[in-house]
Amino acid sequence: MTIRKATDEEPCPVARSVDLIGDRWSLLIVRDAFDGVRRFGDFQRSLGVARNILADRLRKLVDAGILEMRDASDGTAYQEYVLSTKGEGLFPIVVALRQWGELHLFARGERHSVLIDTRTRKPIPRMTPQAKDGSTLMPAFTEVRKVT
């Protein structure tokens, strides 16, 4: 990052976003968070990431205001990491990555995990529906749960 502009001098919003969440793990943590994962150990098992790296990424995501720490809902003494409103705003990015990947990175018939919109109880569509003007309709974030 010596050569890249400091984030606060970078005029391109895409670049700032990529600087913040464009690493190997952050977006997958966010994906899991959309999927309802909340606890350190669950993230760790889901991702298979080293504990120290996970701790670092969680801290950065909390510092960035994407995740918030809360007391565990199950009465244990530990913390949970849940998406803030800002973090929930990443939903279109995750969905777009998912849909592009489904369409272009899987062979026909090859199985992949899907997301269920818990409001409509339907899977997030493989492709974004087209509007009349050619724009695409991105599902809203309600709550989502993975099915494999």
Partner DNA sequence: CAGTATCCCTCAAGATACTG
Partner DNA sequence: CAGTATCTTGAGGGATACTG
DSSP letters, 44-78, are HHHH---HHHHHHHHHHHHHTTSEEEEE-TTSSS-
Number of residues that bind a second copy (CB under 8 A): 54
Query: Using the rule CB under 8 A, is 41 a contact of a second copy?
Result: no
From the list DNA, a second copy, none, which binds 86 (C-beta under 5 to 8 Å, kind-based)?
A: a second copy
Pairwise CA distance, residues 103 & 95, whole Å: 12
Give strand pairing partners of 68.
82
Residue 99 interaction partner, one of a second copy, DNA, none, beta carbon < 5-8 Å per kind: a second copy
Which of 71, 100, 118, 145 is the binder for a second copy (CB under 8 A)? 100
Does 147 participate in binding a second copy (rule CB under 8 A)?
A: no
- Reported as half-sphere exposure (CB side, CA atoms, 13 A), residue 10 has a value of 15
CB of 89 to DNA, least distance (A): 23
